Amino acid sequence: MMPDVPLAPMTTIGLGGRARWLARCSDAGELRDALSFAAREGLPVQVFSGGSNIIFADEGFEGVAVNVGLRGIRSEESSGEIRLAAGAGEPWDGVVALAVEKGWGGIECLSGIPGSTGGTPVQNVGAYGQEVAETLTSVRALDRVTLAEREFTREECAFGYRESRFKREDADRYIITEVTFLLGKNRKPEIRYAELRKEIDARGGDLSLRAVRGAVIGLRRKKSMVVDPSDGNSRSVGSFFTNPVVSKEFFESRLKETPVPTYPAPGGVKLSAAWLVEHAGFPRGFTKNGAGISDNHALAIVNRGGKTADVLALASEIEKGVEMKYGVRLRREAVVAGTGRGNP
């Protein structure tokens, strides 16, 4: 347990104050010790790992910031399928890279996504036509109250678009410790996303797992969605907002005449949040008070030398602008932690 630790360097956006206490946990026992300490001291807890989807308040976090660093990868093959288990603290792109190198298909389109493996089930990470819910088979987690371990099946995770039970009804109840996926040996990629298909064709049409991974990373790099210290546009938490899903009735009555890109969604219509942001008056490159929109991706709010407060003020302004013009309320994908007195 370390006191008074700066949090900004532990995040991809590089913002936030200091943690009253930081616990770096490499196994379940250390997680239990950190949670027990917080309970004894009556302190709030904020769990994070890779720091790619979290923004800490300028005032810091007056509690215990628990950094999940459980590592280790195991695999076993049966009937042409690979069961791949990874510790929650394993860098996600490293897991994808290993699978691709071994010829195990199913997560190649999720290449280049920053953060840890344990974070992928929480928001059902997805990109370019794939999401982890398709291949995930189970999640091991630690109950933050009882300190007992529990295993969840894919069905029990209750996945939805960029969400799961760990983000909804069980938010802040469990700490994920390990995630298991079922991948296919020499499985050919399914290219479902037009932009990715175009990139693959431009590269010669190679549909090997390695080629698809390369194309995905190439696309993400063009959008500054690969963490790169030399690229100021990558000082973000990736997409700050999710694509909103509205009812068919709302779409027909309010948005049918607008050229907003749409996608199929269960029970409604999914809209392009990036289009809504740009057409509500917030173009790429827009900057205000040390925070701005990426030059390469309309959904990435970038740290341009400001503070967390600047990023959150811009996010609020964007939300109000989109709602005023289109009647659609954007939902934040990023986690905002700490107000100087614990969780917001």
The overall average pLDDT reported for the chain is 95
Distance CA(296)–CA(334), nearest Å, equals 19
Residue 288 pairs in a beta bridge with: 291
User: For residues 61-92, b (16+ Cβ closer than 10 Å) or e, as one string?
Assistant: bbbbbbbbbbeeeebeeeeeebebbbbbbbbb
> What is the reported pLDDT for 266?
85
Rama region for 226: left / alpha / beta (φ>0; ψ in -120 to 50; rest): beta
Question: 105: burial class by Cβ within 10 Å (0-12, 13-18, 19+)?
Answer: buried
In this prediction, residues 330-341 reach a mean pLDDT of 80
Q: Is the pLDDT of residue 276 over 70?
A: yes
> What is the reported pLDDT for 339?
57
Mention every residue, 6+ apart, whose C-beta is less than 8 A from residue 278.
284, 298
Distance CA(286)–CA(61), nearest Å, equals 29
Q: Is the pLDDT of residue 39 over 60?
A: yes
Active site residue 162: yes
Active site residue 18: no
Torsions phi, psi of 50, nearest 5? -75, -15
Active site residue 333: yes
Strands 18-25 and 2-6: antiparallel
In this prediction, residues 296-322 reach a mean pLDDT of 97
* pTM for this prediction: 0.92
Catalytic residue, chosen from 49, 239, 294, 319, is: 239
Distance CA(335)–CA(55), nearest Å, equals 6
Q: Is the pLDDT of residue 267 over 90?
A: no
Q: Is the pLDDT of residue 186 over 90?
A: no
Q: Is the pLDDT of residue 340 over 90?
A: no
Catalytic residue, chosen from 71, 162, 221, 332, is: 162
Catalytic residue, chosen from 62, 108, 131, 333, is: 333
Q: Which of 296, 274, 237 is nearest to 119 (CA)?
A: 237
